Amino acid sequence: MGARVIYWFRTDLRLHDSPALQVALDLNPEVLWPIFTWDPHYVYKARGGLNRWQFLLDCQMDLSASITKLNPKSKLFLIREAPQTVLPKLFKSWKVTHIVFERDTDAYPRERDAAVTAAAEAAGIKVITRSGRTLWDSDAIVKQRDGKPTMSITQLQTTGKQLGLIPRPIPAPTSLPDPGPMPLDFESEPPAPTEDINSEQRTKSDTGYMSIAGPKGDFGIETMEELGFPSATTPHRGGESIALRMLDDIIDNEEYTAKFEKPKTSPAQFEPQSTTLLSPFLHFGALSPRLFYWRVQDLTDAYGNGASKPPTSITGQLLFRDMYFAAQAAIGPAFTQTIRNRHCRFIPWHLRSKVDPKTGMVTGEYEIDSEEAEVWFQRWKRGTTGFPWIDALMRQLRHDGWIHHLGRHSVACFLTRGGCYIDWERGAEVFEELLLDHEPACNAGNWQWLSCSAFFHQYFRCYSPIAFGRNWDKNGDFVRRWIPELKDFPAKFIYEPWKAPIQDQKKAGVRITGDGISEPKDSELATYPKPMFDFNKRRDICMAAMKDAYDVALFGDDPCIMDGTWKGS
Q: Interface residues with ligand FAD (CB under 6 A)?
A: 262, 275-279, 282-283, 314, 317-318, 320-321, 324, 404-405, 408-409, 412, 431, 435, 437-439, 442-443, 446-447, 450
Amino acid identity of residue 178, one-letter, is: D
Smaller CB separation from ligand FAD, 310 or 332: 310
Smaller CB separation from ligand FAD, 313 or 384: 313
Pairwise CA distance, residues 81 & 192, whole Å: 9
Smaller CB separation from ligand FAD, 249 or 356: 249
Q: Are strands 351-355 and 362-368 parallel, antiparallel or unpaired?
A: antiparallel
Smaller CB separation from ligand FAD, 8 or 402: 402
Least Å distance between CB 160 and ligand FAD?
15
User: Where are the alpha helices (H) located in 369-488, listed in sequence order?
Assistant: 371-382, 388-400, 405-415, 424-434, 440-450, 467-472, 477-482
Q: Count the neighbouring beta carbons within 10 Å of the beta carbon of residue 523.
A: 12
DSSP bridge partners of 350:
none
DSSP bridge partners of 362:
355
Pairwise CA distance, residues 352 & 520, whole Å: 31
Least Å distance between CB 420 and ligand FAD?
14
Least Å distance between CB 248 and ligand FAD?
15
Smaller CB separation from ligand FAD, 67 or 243: 243
Pairwise CA distance, residues 563 & 362, whole Å: 10
In this structure, what DSSP letter does residue 493 have?
G
Smaller CB separation from ligand FAD, 325 or 489: 325
Least Å distance between CB 320 and ligand FAD?
4
Which three-class secondary structure state does DSSP give residue 354? strand
Smaller CB separation from ligand FAD, 64 or 446: 446
Which three-class secondary structure state does DSSP give residue 142? helix
Pairwise CA distance, residues 197 & 286, whole Å: 30
Pairwise CA distance, residues 516 & 440, whole Å: 30
User: Where are the alpha helices (H) located in 207-272, listed in sequence order?
Assistant: 240-252, 254-259
Smaller CB separation from ligand FAD, 349 or 431: 431
Query: Between the CA of residue 382 and those of 133, 245, 386, what are the distances in Å?
Result: 33, 34, 11
Least Å distance between CB 78 and ligand FAD?
25
Least Å distance between CB 399 and ligand FAD?
16
Judge contact between 415 and 308, C-beta under 8 A: no
Smaller CB separation from ligand FAD, 404 or 470: 404
Smaller CB separation from ligand FAD, 400 or 496: 400
Least Å distance between CB 135 and ligand FAD?
11
Least Å distance between CB 291 and ligand FAD?
13
Judge contact between 395 and 384, C-beta under 8 A: no
Least Å distance between CB 447 and ligand FAD?
5
Judge contact between 383 and 517, C-beta under 8 A: no
Amino acid identity of residue 566, one-letter, is: W
Least Å distance between CB 428 and ligand FAD?
7
Least Å distance between CB 281 and ligand FAD?
8
CA nearest to 173, candidates 13, 66, 16: 16
Q: Count the neighbouring beta carbons within 10 Å of the beta carbon of residue 167.
A: 16
Smaller CB separation from ligand FAD, 252 or 369: 252
CA nearest to 453, candidates 566, 369, 557, 546: 546
